[in-house]
Chains A and B, each alone.
Chain A
Amino acid sequence: MYAKHNKPKLSRGVLDMKFMQRTKAKVDKEADDEQGRALYSNEISGNMLNSNSNFIIEPSYSICEGLIDGRLSFRGMNPELERLMELEQAEKQVKTKQEQPKEVSDVEMAKYMQRKFNGKNDFNKRKPNAILNNKAFKPKKQKHHFMKPREDDDSGEAEA
């Protein structure tokens, strides 16, 4: 339980943003499921949890048959609706495109890229390995760490 409370959560302000709508739906569903589980936890018997049946009951024809939405408009009868239909169609096409089989496998691609960039990989070669492996040697990056922030910058942030 303790671990669940500590799970990082996105703030409501972030979730209300327009581009976060999908994540918001997901988070809402998770919270709903959690609540449902908590609500019925003492009614669910061990038998119900442990019996692994291979049957799933689905009472809706629309889901079984994969029916489309029944609200349609053709040839400019209802432009608003047709726009929605187009958007849906486009979304569907994107999904089917992703399902297309790869012509080049990931392994082949990796090999190809390795070959391609082997010659140009002087960047790493030029650095002596000793520098990369030697832990005593401080990487250049850490220098930034010790830089003193400007004072006026700091005060400005505090006010904000």
Chain B
Amino acid sequence: MTSSNFVMPGDRVSSIEDLAKTKRVILGPGLRRLDDKVVASKAGPLRHKEPNTFWVDNYQRRYVPARGDLVLGIVRAKAGDVYRVDIGSADVATISYLAFEAATKKNRPDLNPGDMIYARVLNANADIEPELVCVNSNGKRGKLGVLQDGFFFKCSLNLGRMLLRENCPALGALNEELPYEIAVGVNGRIWVKAHTPRDTLGLVNAILSLENAGYAEIEKVCGNLTEVMQT
């Protein structure tokens, strides 16, 4: 992954166009195709992942649902056969009460307004409400489901994504400090749980201190996490 250059909305990205003449190219968020032209639709650094994926890593706090994303949501209301869940997107998401492990029409999951769930986006379309599920294709819960206790806070979408990069040193650095449990949604919402409230708040401060760290500085900031947690 390299950060080569910045693009602004409307910029043509000719490097991708050239590449697309010979092989297939995956255009991620922030890039649009207009016939044979590739145009940026967001402002930020253009990212590239081998072999052929491109996207714009812009700063954003508003989540735009995309199929397959893992998100944190807060149950807002029961509405007939579905729960309405706030995932920070423009529209409230829905989750069917059958989309939980071992749920049946008679045996509904015990969810109440205010509960926190970790779910996968099943359906994301500009014209309809996003739909969530808490089971995988085998009907198993896996890592999804209700989150008990803990502490919840919001951050930028970039921070959530940065923590989830495969080689991100932050979570490992925190692990050296104390045992904890975490759920990071790509919708810029994080839930953490440690043994004591003091530890939990330390974690929250440490994670939020990474907000302004770029790809390059992150390792340096992670070295200082201990200090942040103790203050």
Residue B103 interfacial (CB < 8 Å): no
List chain B residues, Cβ under 8 A from A137: none
Residue B175 interfacial (CB < 8 Å): yes
Residue A76 interfacial (CB < 8 Å): yes
Task: Give the interface segment out of B27-35, B73-81, B88-96.
Answer: B27-35
Q: Given that A25-B137, A56-B24, A57-B27 are contacting pairs, would A70 and B185 also be in contact in the complex, using a CB cutoff of 8 Å?
A: yes
The complex places the Cα of A69 from the Cα of B53 at a distance, in Å, of 20
Residue B207 interfacial (CB < 8 Å): no
Interface string of A50-70 (1 = CB under 8 A from B): 000111111111111111111
Closest-by-CB residue of B relative to A52 is: B24
Q: Given that A65-B55, A65-B165, A70-B184 are contacting pairs, would A60 and B68 also be in contact in the complex, using a CB cutoff of 8 Å?
A: yes
Report whether B27 and A76 are in contact in the complex, using a CB–CB cutoff of 8 Å. no
Task: Give the interface segment out of B2-10, B104-112, B156-164, B219-227.
Answer: B156-164
Point out the residue from B28, B160, B193 that lies within 8 Å of A70, measured CB to CB. B160
Q: Given that A68-B166, A77-B180 are contacting pairs, would A62 and B186 also be in contact in the complex, using a CB cutoff of 8 Å?
A: yes
Interface string of B131-159 (1 = CB under 8 A from A): 00000011000111000000000000100
List chain B residues, Cβ under 8 A from A76: 179
Report whether B179 and A54 are in contact in the complex, using a CB–CB cutoff of 8 Å. no
Residue A75 interfacial (CB < 8 Å): yes
Point out the residue from B23, B28, B178 that lies within 8 Å of A54, measured CB to CB. B23
Report whether B26 and A77 are in contact in the complex, using a CB–CB cutoff of 8 Å. no
Closest CB in chain B relative to A93 CB, distance in Å: 14
The complex places the Cα of A121 from the Cα of B171 at a distance, in Å, of 59
Residue B25 interfacial (CB < 8 Å): yes
List chain B residues, Cβ under 8 A from A35: none
Report whether A58 and B28 are in contact in the complex, using a CB–CB cutoff of 8 Å. yes
Closest CB in chain A relative to B71 CB, distance in Å: 9
List chain A residues, Cβ under 8 A from B185: 70
List chain B residues, Cβ under 8 A from A60: 28-29, 66-69
Report whether B183 and A70 are in contact in the complex, using a CB–CB cutoff of 8 Å. yes
Residue A74 interfacial (CB < 8 Å): yes
Q: Interface of A with B (CB < 8 Å)?
A: 21, 24-25, 28, 53-78, 81, 84
Q: Interface of B with A (CB < 8 Å)?
A: 1, 20-21, 23-29, 33, 38, 47, 49, 53, 55, 64, 66-70, 118, 124, 137-138, 142-144, 157, 160-161, 163-166, 171, 174-175, 178-186, 193-195
